[in-house]
Structures are given as structure tokens and as C-alpha cells.
């Protein structure tokens, strides 16, 4: 999860985006009665929340054929009839509500081919998709009539909906004898599924409870019940960006089931769902898109080991108990390599062990778990005179099977790379105003500039500060809307691209983690942007010196404006991209080492301009820094903030 934001001195808000006025608060969803849409049918969503009007509309990352707001919409409840395009694939998706005031944070919505029904005393027909809530120590039950020899699958969806439930599902026969049960599994992101064949005719009871009888909140769930097939894992687990690839689906379906994916334009680092498979309920498995060669492990003639060279991703599976896969890795003396196994993190039941041996079979190094995962990983420096090592993957408990899949990535340590994180998942840009977003780069061997692109912005928006400077770990991006910009909302990806020609890197930026995105990381790939009406206050640069003299000062002049009814005082503060060093307590920012205002002025109702001095600390690294001014309209008590505005970003170079 992203760490807390750090602003320069005088910045009083923890959010890096523009906070809209109270009078024009963006919509927020608090509840959807049945958070599900049925493919091929019109569905009415009942949405509760705040500030839901005017002109509400559903925003999804899939095509919507038709949507219409029902009569009687209010600020706290709207009913919207939605019909999806027939091409939409089943699965979990982030849904937002947009209106003239902005766009909401996302909630998870399931799209399926089966209509949902509330949990009741009896399931009348199969297949069924049953929904409800589970609280604390409660045990919920429902019944169904079954036939001898009937195959029955019961799958719980809770963790994948962001719920704090560790599900346990049980099936009892007409005599109240337990027939089958299941608890949360890695493959289902903590959810549960039981598969059984009914032993006789009669009425069967399904029972659901939390594993510790301590279900938390949120606490909604779904039960998918019927004789259905499923695919939980792909093989291989990843594909290379810029290419097309074929994947086998692992589950209850035939081993020959394959699906092709076009990754030619997908950014490396993306986690994406495979295309839809006809007749398969629920979502298809997800894959990683990488920028290194991806190869599948295979047996070699004459008992030889498959030979690979870094960088590479090797995909294998331990089909039999006590199996061990081995690969000959050609290396250069003195090279430092990173070996990383992904299995549990991808939903595989494999509890991996990674061993490096020399070609004579002597163990060199061994790894079991890494922090926070059962997957092993290690770094290894190749000794002098060594040109090959043997990498071996096995299961700690000697287990195996068709779903014991893994990916062994071998990467040179220090190979240029970076990742990009956005510190918010939405921006609101008022007409004649701006919004600011903080962007964070985590660098590994790449120190050059990172160009940022936002494809699909609403019409009229101007992008400022679209590059993370060389050597910088943070930057500010601003979006500015003219007075003529249409009120609009959009959800779009942010891509970071290296600008050095000999280091071709392209990375998809991630937004902050949410409860449901922990189980569905592919939902962290887009940011929402909305154009809203003119805000009650605005602030703009009139002049600013173009450099930051280290150890000195620089000057700036700003202008503030108000709509006629606004009479309160406005406080100014500085927002910067500087990562402020910590004080001796290693907890608070060191004020004396922060790029800051000499004073944070408060303008009375009759003041429209302010001249400011920016203090530049003497030990500020000589880099480019982004700065913006924040204006806060204060209540009569001089403390409560009623409205907020921000200038576009200016980039200044710090130098001696």
C-alpha cells in the first residue's frame, strides 16, 4: 500500500488531489442492493449514497449498450437500468457513478450470465447465484432438492468482493450427515469451493459460516450453485508484452482447453484477464504481462537439462508428488542474479522451495519463504570460474498435481527498471481551475526521466508536469480545465515510459489498494478524472522566479478570485514534490530542510493577490522540483476549511 504523502511545510491536507467544495461534493456510493449485472438482460441497479444527482450514470471498464435513470432519482438513491454489450466477459469489475458533480470511488460489481437471487430457505432451480450478508458468528442455511449421482458445485465469493469473511461451506444430506465441505483456498483468493456427487435423492442443506465465527465488515457474499465448470489458473502464468501468446486453462475443464491473448499493446507489469471463454461462468484467470522472454519448461532428450539465460521467465508445474524441476542457467562470473518464484501469489497451491546447485549437484543456496509469501526467492553472485548453475524448484511438502504451477523469473540485479504509483484513484478538475496528483516512482537501476501519458482524458483538459524528472522519486501532475470544457467523467490508465533510448521501459501506473483490489490486483490499473463546474474560489500564478537557489530564496506572486457570494479569508500553502527528510525522531518531517513558504499568508475578503517568498534549504539536492499553491477558504472560526483550490504545477530547477 502506498505510504503517506509528504508535502512541504504549510501543506495541511493529506490528499494530493483537489478537494471539491462542500456544496459540490462528488457522488459517493454507500450501497448497491444487488451489485450484479446479467449479460444479455437489462438489470436495474438500486444505488444508495450521497450527492448522486444531477445526471447520474454508471461507469464501467466494459461496453454498456444502454443505461437509463428511472424516475424519482434523489441525492441519496438512484435506480439505473443497465444493459451490457453482448461481448462483455463475466467477472468482477470496478464500477463508479459519475454525475455533474464528479465521479465516485469504485465499488466491485460482478457481471455474470446468471441472474442473482437473495438467500432464502430454498433454492428452487439450478444453476443459481445466491447473495446475502454474513455477520459475526452467524451460520446461514438454504436447501435444494438433489438426485443421486448429480454433480454439484458450490462456490463462495466473499474475499473477492472485498468482504472480511473467511468462508466455510458445508453440504449435508437429508439425514443431516455431512457430505462435503470446503474452506478458503489460495487458488480462490481465500474463498471456498466444494465439488461433490450427491449420494442419493432428497433435500440437501447448504451451510455457510465464518471459519472463526467472527465475520467482519463488509460482509456480503455470493453462492454459485450448480453443475458448472471452472478455470482457476492459466499456464503459463505470464506472457511477454508486444507479442501474442496461447494459454492453457487449469480447472475442471479438459486439459486441451486453450485461449489466445493479444498482448502486443499491453504495458509490461500489467495484470490482465484472459479473453472470455464461452460457457464458463465467472471470470477467466488473470496473467502477468512482462517484458522478458517467457519460456515453458520441457523435458530434454538424453536426460539433459533445459538451458536458459537471464533475463527469462520459466514456467513449469510439478505434476507428480515429490517432483523437482531443474534448469541449467548459463551465467557469467561475477554476475549478480535475482531468482524469484511466483506460485502462491498467483493462486497456485505450490509451497515452493528454490535450490541452486553447481553442475556436480552440490547445493549452493536454498530459499523457502520470502516476507509476506510462501514463494521463495534469492539473490546470488556468481563466483569466479563458474559459467552455469542448476536451479531446482520443488514443493516443501512433496505434493504435486496439474495445478501446481509456478513461474521462475531470473533477472540480473541492477537491470534498469522502475514502477509508478498514483497516490489517488480520482481527480476532480473544476472549469477555470486545476487539480494536482502526486506520482511516485520506485527506481531500480534507471535514473532517467519518466514520461507520463494519460490516454482518454475528458475533452479540453490540459496536462501539466507530465514527466518525473531524472533522479526524482516523486512528481506533481496537474490537469487544468478551461471555462468551456464539457462536464464529463472518464476512467483511464496512466503509463510511465523511459526516455533514454537505450533503456526501453514502459510501465502501467497503479492506484492505491482497496479491500477488493487485494484479491483482484488488476482492478488497480486506472484512475478516474472528472470535469466539474466552476469552483467558488480559484488561485493562479501571476509570476514566479524560474529557479530555486539552494540555500537562498525565490519569489512568487499569486492571484485569488471568489464568486460574488464568497467573503471569507483564504489561506495559502505550498505543495511540492520534495520528499522531505525526516527529523531526528525519524517520524516527523524536518521543517528546516523543507522547501517551504517564508510565511503562509491568509488573505482577507478584499485581497486578491499575494507576494510570497519560497525558502530553499541549503542541502536540497540539485534536482527539478514541482510546486503548486493551495488556497483554502476558511470558515468564520479561521480553522474549518470550506473550499479548496490549487494552481497548475510549475517545475523549477534547484541549483547552487
283 compared with 164, residue with greater pLDDT: 164
pLDDT per residue as tens digits for the range 534-548: 999 999 999 998 899
- Neighbour count for residue 164 (Cβ, 10 Å): 15
CA-to-CA distance for 438 and 627, rounded, in angstroms?
Answer: 11
Tell whether the model's pLDDT for residue 592 goes beyond 60: yes
CA-to-CA distance for 443 and 231, rounded, in angstroms?
Answer: 36
Tell whether the model's pLDDT for residue 596 goes beyond 50: yes
pLDDT per residue as tens digits for the range 94-140: 899 999 999 999 988 889 888 899 999 999 999 999 999 999 999 99
* Per-residue confidence (pLDDT) for residue 113, from 0 to 100: 87
515 compared with 128, residue with greater pLDDT: 128
CA-to-CA distance for 620 and 169, rounded, in angstroms?
Answer: 58
- Neighbour count for residue 606 (Cβ, 10 Å): 6
pLDDT per residue as tens digits for the range 333-389: 999 999 999 999 999 999 999 999 999 999 999 999 999 999 999 999 999 999 999
Tell whether the model's pLDDT for residue 1 goes beyond 50: no
Tell whether the model's pLDDT for residue 620 goes beyond 70: yes
Tell whether the model's pLDDT for residue 449 goes beyond 50: yes
Model confidence at 571, pLDDT cuts 50, 70, 90, reads very high
* Per-residue confidence (pLDDT) for residue 524, from 0 to 100: 86
Cell of 394: 520443488
Q: What does the pLDDT average to over 469-482?
A: 95
Cis peptide before 449 (omega within 30 of 0): no
CA-to-CA distance for 32 and 318, rounded, in angstroms?
Answer: 43
Q: What does the pLDDT average to over 218-246?
A: 95
Kindly list the structural domains of the chain, giving each domain's residue range(s) and its CATH number in brackets, ordered by start. Answer: 22-112 (2.60.40.10), 128-226 (2.60.120.380), 294-409 (2.60.120.380), 537-655 (2.60.40.3880)
Q: Is the pTM of this model over 0.75?
A: yes
pLDDT per residue as tens digits for the range 494-510: 999 999 888 889 999 99
* Per-residue confidence (pLDDT) for residue 3, from 0 to 100: 35
| Mean residue pLDDT across the chain | 92
CA-to-CA distance for 640 and 569, rounded, in angstroms?
Answer: 11
Q: What does the pLDDT average to over 395-402?
A: 96
Tell whether the model's pLDDT for residue 13 goes beyond 60: no
Q: What does the pLDDT average to over 442-463?
A: 94
Q: Across the chain, which distance is largest between two alpha carbons, in Å?
A: 89
Listing DSSP states for 572-637 in one string gives EEEEE---PPB-TTSSSB-GGGS-EESS--EE-TT--EEEEEEE--TT--SSEEEEEEEEEEE-TT
Residues recorded for the chain: 656
Q: Of 466, 475, 652, 458, which is closest to residue 548 (Cα–Cα)? A: 652
Tell whether the model's pLDDT for residue 176 goes beyond 60: yes
Share of the chain above pLDDT 90, in %: 80
- Is the C-alpha dihedral spanning 141, 115, 78, 35 positive or negative? positive
* Per-residue confidence (pLDDT) for residue 297, from 0 to 100: 95
* Per-residue confidence (pLDDT) for residue 20, from 0 to 100: 37
Model confidence at 460, pLDDT cuts 50, 70, 90, reads very high
| Alpha carbon separation from 488 to 66, 103, 537 (Å, rounded) | 18, 9, 21
Please, are residues 283 and 62 in contact by the beta-carbon 8 Å criterion? no
Model confidence at 256, pLDDT cuts 50, 70, 90, reads confident
Share of the chain above pLDDT 70, in %: 96
Model confidence at 34, pLDDT cuts 50, 70, 90, reads confident
Q: Of 303, 279, 397, 415, which is closest to residue 343 (Cα–Cα)? A: 397
* Per-residue confidence (pLDDT) for residue 24, from 0 to 100: 67
Q: Of 245, 336, 343, which is closest to residue 294 (Cα–Cα)? A: 245
Q: Of 337, 333, 334, 339, which is closest to residue 387 (Cα–Cα)? A: 333
Amino acid at each position: 500500500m502506498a505510504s503517506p504523502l509528504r508535502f512541504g511545510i504549510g501543506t495541511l491536507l493529506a490528499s494530493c488531489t483537489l478537494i471539491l467544495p462542500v456544496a459540490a461534493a462528488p457522488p459517493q456510493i454507500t450501497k448497491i442492493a444487488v451489485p450484479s449485472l446479467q449479460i444479455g438482460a437489462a438489470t436495474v441497479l438500486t444505488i444508495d449514497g450521497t450527492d448522486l444527482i444531477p445526471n447520474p450514470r454508471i461507469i464501467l471498464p466494459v461496453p454498456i449498450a444502454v443505461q437509463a435513470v428511472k424516475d424519482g432519482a434523489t441525492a441519496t438513491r438512484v435506480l439505473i437500468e443497465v444493459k451490457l454489450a453482448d461481448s462483455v466477459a463475466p467477472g468482477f469489475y470496478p464500477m463508479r457513478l459519475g454525475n455533474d458533480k464528479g465521479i465516485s470511488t469504485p465499488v466491485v460489481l460482478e457481471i455474470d450470465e446468471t441472474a442473482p437471487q437473495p438467500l432464502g430457505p430454498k433454492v428452487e432451480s439450478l444453476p443459481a447465484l445466491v447473495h446475502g450478508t454474513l455477520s459475526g458468528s452467524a451460520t446461514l442455511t438454504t436447501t435444494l432438492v438433489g438426485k443421486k449421482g448429480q454433480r454439484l458445485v458450490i462456490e463462495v465469493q466473499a474475499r473477492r468482493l472485498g468482504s472480511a469473511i473467511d468462508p466455510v461451506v458445508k453440504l449435508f444430506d437429508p439425514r443431516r450427515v455431512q457430505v462435503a465441505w470446503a474452506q478458503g483456498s489460495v487458488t480462490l483468493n481465500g474463498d471456498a469451493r466444494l465439488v461433490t456427487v450427491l449420494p442419493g435423492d432428497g433435500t440437501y442443506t447448504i451451510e455457510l459460516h465464518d471459519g472463526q465465527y467472527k465475520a467482519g465488515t463488509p460482509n456480503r457474499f455470493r453462492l454459485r450453485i450448480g453443475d458448472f465448470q471452472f478455470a482457476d489458473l492459466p499456464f503459463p502464468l505470464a506472457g511477454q508484452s508486444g507479442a501474442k501468446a496461447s494459454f492453457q486453462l487449469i480447472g475442471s475443464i479438459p486439459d486441451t482447453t486453450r485461449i489466445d491473448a493479444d498482448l502486443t499493446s499491453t504495458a509490461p507489469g500489467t495484470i490482465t484477464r484472459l479473453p472470455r471463454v464461452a460457457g464458463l461462468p465467472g471470470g477467466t484467470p488473470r496473467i502477468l504481462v512482462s517484458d522478458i522472454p517467457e519460456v515453458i519448461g520441457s523435458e530434454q532428450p538424453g536426460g539433459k537439462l533445459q538451458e536458459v539465460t537471464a533475463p527469462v521467465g520459466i514456467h513449469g508445474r510439478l505434476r507428480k508428488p515429490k517432483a523437482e524441476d531443474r534448469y541449467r542457467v548459463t551465467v557469467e562470473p561475477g554476475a549478480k542474479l535475482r531468482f524469484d518464484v511466483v506460485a502462491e501469489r498467483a493462486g497456485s497451491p505450490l509451497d515452493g522451495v528454490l535450490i541452486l546447485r553447481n553442475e556436480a549437484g552440490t547445493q549452493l543456496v536454498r530459499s523457502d519463504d520470502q516476507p509476506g509469501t510462501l514463494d521463495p526467492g534469492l539473490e546470488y553472485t556468481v563466483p569466479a570460474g563458474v559459467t552455469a548453475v542448476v536451479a531446482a524448484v520443488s514443493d516443501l511438502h512433496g505434493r504435486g498435481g496439474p495445478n501446481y504451477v509456478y513461474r521462475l523469473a531470473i533477472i540480473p540485479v541492477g537491470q534498469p527498471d522502475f514502477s509508478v504509483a498514483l497516490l489517488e484513484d480520482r481527480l476532480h478538475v473544476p472549469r477555470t481551475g486545476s487539480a494536482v496528483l502526486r506520482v511516485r516512482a520506485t527506481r531500480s537501476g534507471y535514473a532517467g526521466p519518466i514520461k507520463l501519458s494519460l490516454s482518454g482524458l475528458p475533452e479540453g483538459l490540459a496536462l501539466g508536469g507530465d514527466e518525473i524528472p531524472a533522479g526524482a522519486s516523486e512528481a506533481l501532475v496537474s490537469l487544468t480545465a478551461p471555462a468551456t470544457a464539457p462536464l464529463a467523467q472518464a476512467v483511464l490508465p496512466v503509463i510511465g515510459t523511459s526516455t533514454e533510448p537505450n533503456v526501453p521501459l514502459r510501465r502501467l501506473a497503479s492506484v492505491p489498494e482497496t479491500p477488493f483490489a487485494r484479491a483482484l490486483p488488476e482492478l488497480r490499473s486506472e484512475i478516474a478524472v472528472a470535469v466539474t463546474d466552476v469552483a467558488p474560489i480559484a488561485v493562479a500564478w501571476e509570476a514566479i522566479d524560474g529557479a530555486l537557489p539552494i540555500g537562498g530564496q525565490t519569489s512568487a506572486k499569486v492571484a485569488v478570485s471568489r464568486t460574488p457570494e464568497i467573503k471569507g479569508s483564504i489561506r495559502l500553502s505550498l505543495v511540492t514534490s520534495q520528499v522531505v527528510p525526516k527529523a531526528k525522531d525519524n517520524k516527523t518531517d524536518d521543517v528546516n530542510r523543507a522547501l517551504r513558504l517564508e510565511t503562509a499568508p491568509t488573505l482577507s475578503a478584499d485581497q486578491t493577490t499575494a507576494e510570497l517568498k519560497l525558502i530553499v534549504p541549503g542541502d536540497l539536492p540539485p534536482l527539478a522540483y514541482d510546486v503548486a499553491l493551495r488556497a483554502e477558504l476558511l470558515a468564520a472560526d479561521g480553522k474549518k476549511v470550506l473550499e479548496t483550490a490549487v494552481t497548475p504545477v510549475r517545475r523549477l530547477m534547484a541549483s547552487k
